[in-house]
Chains A and B, each alone.
Chain A
Amino acid sequence: MAEGRFQVRRRAGVRLWLSAAWLILLVIVALFAPYIAPKDPLEQDLFSGRLPPFWVHGADASFVLGTDSLGRDVLSRIIFGTRIALGVAVVSASVTCIIGAALGLLAGFYRGWVDVLVSRFIDIWMAFPPVLFSILLIAVIGPGLFSIILAIVVIDWTRFARVIRAEAMAQGAMDYVASARVAGRGRFGILLREILPNVLPIIVVLLTLEMGIAVIVEAILSFVNLSISTDDPTWGGMISEGRTSIHQAWWVLVFPLITLFLTVLSFSQLGEGLKDRFDPVLR
């Protein structure tokens, strides 16, 4: 065979580590939020509303990143917002993954009527306008954390199912599956022990990308005033609340936006980085 293609150390390594570092930081912040946050995120003081960040003239040093129109500390709210953001991201992404991947694997591997059934189901499901459907859905069960997660799962499981189905079909056609069957292995056994491990990398990549999408969807839903109903702070909620006084109190919108942006960017770069690692062609 011709000389092996030369494996080039990917420059993306730097970006991969930066995103991983940011996400780990987020996890720590989410876990130890009560100890890290300087103030109680819900504590209000109408008379210390819209204080600027500490470096701006007229700031109150104890409110490091300033306060919003109700006098609540922006930094603490971002810190507590991390909990919901990661919670929504992890839970909705994994539920989406479980449903989507399971259906995808079944359809892709067993083919036949299972495949037809699942594909038809995917088609019908994808025929719904996503944002409109989630608004309708949230109108049914009322805004709140659970409905955001459900909305994300409802919109995005088809993406998982489609990709995993294609991958399962491709793997199913591989010789190692035939040989496993020859060795007398049951079909379900093959699916679990042979196909799944090979499809797992793709699932991990999609899972990471999905977490980024979940964070964005929460922001979009808060923009349409459908996000969480209780007082608990969410980045999306802070952004949409900050929108009306962008000129007077820019920090109420800008800081949660930066946090949201960095988080979603980290998820997507991590996803891309993992994809490069697993992608057979570039390995």
Chain B
Amino acid sequence: MSFLEVRNLSARVKGGGPLLRDVSLTVEVGEVRGLVGESGAGKSMIGKAVLGILPKAVEITGGQIVLDGTDLLTLPPAARRVKVGASCALIPQDPLTALNPSRRIGVQITDRLVDILGWTRQRAEDRALALLTEVQITDPARVLRQYPHELSGGMRQRILIASAFAAEPKLIVADEPTTALDVTVQKQILKLIAALQARHGTALLFVTHDLGVVSKVCQNLSVLYAGKVVEDSTVADFFGAPKHPYSAALLAATPKYTDPSAGLQPVPDAVIAAVRAEVEHG
């Protein structure tokens, strides 16, 4: 029984069109799975569904989200919150708005450990210091007392990563953690996430539209189009020989670090039409 099992999950906007169509995927303990697709394909919706932070206007119409053996959808809200809070964490996308501007950094990391996980204040602070050092922040003690507006985007993302790993979660959902950062910082952050993931053995659900990121960080991935998983394979197989035509076209449209000068072909319309037909009636 894998740590996270999403079975036939479907969701739609209240009174609107479908967002997720019968999505199924699993994440083992320590596994890093990528969720790939163009924007609007529903990849971050899956992450939100797991963490229970779907917008009010979106309703789940079917399927199960089994986390560590229990189906979150059947739990009463309070129990679900605690279970998710204790065993999962989120690395948000935009560091500029993901930290509370009117509170110090330290409190924003330790509060959750004390309030939800019941740690002592001292243990939480030690943990925070340790994690800040792990994310290569110099003089972590001073940073703990600073306010978000005093730090750069890169620094804030490191803090968010530290905060996520601080709670020793079994699963972390990373929702395009590097997209809002400039390119030079992106690589460092990716290396950092990979390193912490390896050291802490945390399962990672990595939502991104950048196949380059997937190839460096993930072990396997699910490809989504318009809310439907069109391919589920290991990274090696995917980059070697993508089974689904849409995956192949997607791969062709991605610049390779290895061969930057290769001509890029946009995803052909024929392929789009075919995958849409499949998704509509599949």
Task: Tell me what chain A mostly uses at the interface: helix, strand, loop, or mixed.
Answer: loop
* A173 interfacial by beta-carbon distance below 8 Å: no
For B175, what are the chain A residues with a Cβ–Cβ distance below 8 Å?
Answer: 2
Across the two chains, which residue of chain A brings its CB closest to B94? A2
- Contact flags B29-72 to A (C-beta < 8 A → 1, else 0): 00000000001101011000000000111100000000000000
Q: In the docked arrangement, what's the CA distance between A4 and B45, Å?
A: 11
Q: Are B58 and A6 in contact (CB under 8 A)?
A: yes
In the assembled complex, how far is the CB of residue A283 from the closest CB belonging to chain B, in whole angstroms?
15
- Contact flags A74-104 to B (C-beta < 8 A → 1, else 0): 0000000000000000000000000000000
The residues in A between 1 and 39 inclusive whose CB is less than 8 angstroms from any CB of B are 1-6, 8
Q: Are B57 and A3 in contact (CB under 8 A)?
A: no
Q: Are A3 and B39 in contact (CB under 8 A)?
A: yes
Q: Are A1 and B39 in contact (CB under 8 A)?
A: yes
Q: In the docked arrangement, what's the CA distance between A184 and B209, Å?
A: 41
Q: In the docked arrangement, what's the CA distance between A64 and B16, Å?
A: 49
The residues in B between 132 and 190 inclusive whose CB is less than 8 angstroms from any CB of A are 175-176, 179
Q: In the docked arrangement, what's the CA distance between A2 and B44, Å?
A: 7
How many chain A residues have a CB neighbour from B under 8 Å? Answer: 7
Q: Are B55 and A5 in contact (CB under 8 A)?
A: yes
* B267 interfacial by beta-carbon distance below 8 Å: no
* B93 interfacial by beta-carbon distance below 8 Å: yes
* B114 interfacial by beta-carbon distance below 8 Å: no
In the assembled complex, how far is the CB of residue B111 from the closest CB belonging to chain A, in whole angstroms?
25
Q: Are A3 and B45 in contact (CB under 8 A)?
A: yes
For B56, what are the chain A residues with a Cβ–Cβ distance below 8 Å?
Answer: 8
For A6, what are the chain B residues with a Cβ–Cβ distance below 8 Å?
Answer: 13, 16, 55, 57-58
Q: In the docked arrangement, what's the CA distance between A2 and B42, Å?
A: 9
Q: In the docked arrangement, what's the CA distance between A4 and B39, Å?
A: 9
Q: Are A3 and B179 in contact (CB under 8 A)?
A: no
In the assembled complex, how far is the CB of residue B97 from the closest CB belonging to chain A, in whole angstroms?
11
Q: Are B57 and A4 in contact (CB under 8 A)?
A: no
In the assembled complex, how far is the CB of residue B162 from the closest CB belonging to chain A, in whole angstroms?
22
In the assembled complex, how far is the CB of residue B177 from the closest CB belonging to chain A, in whole angstroms?
12
Q: In the docked arrangement, what's the CA distance between A207 and B39, Å?
A: 40
For B13, what are the chain A residues with a Cβ–Cβ distance below 8 Å?
Answer: 6
Q: Are B55 and A4 in contact (CB under 8 A)?
A: no
Q: Are B57 and A8 in contact (CB under 8 A)?
A: yes
For A1, what are the chain B residues with a Cβ–Cβ distance below 8 Å?
Answer: 39, 179
Name 11 interchain pairs, CB-CB below 8 A, sorted by A. A1-B39, A2-B39, A2-B44, A2-B93, A2-B175, A2-B176, A3-B39, A3-B44, A5-B55, A6-B57, A8-B57
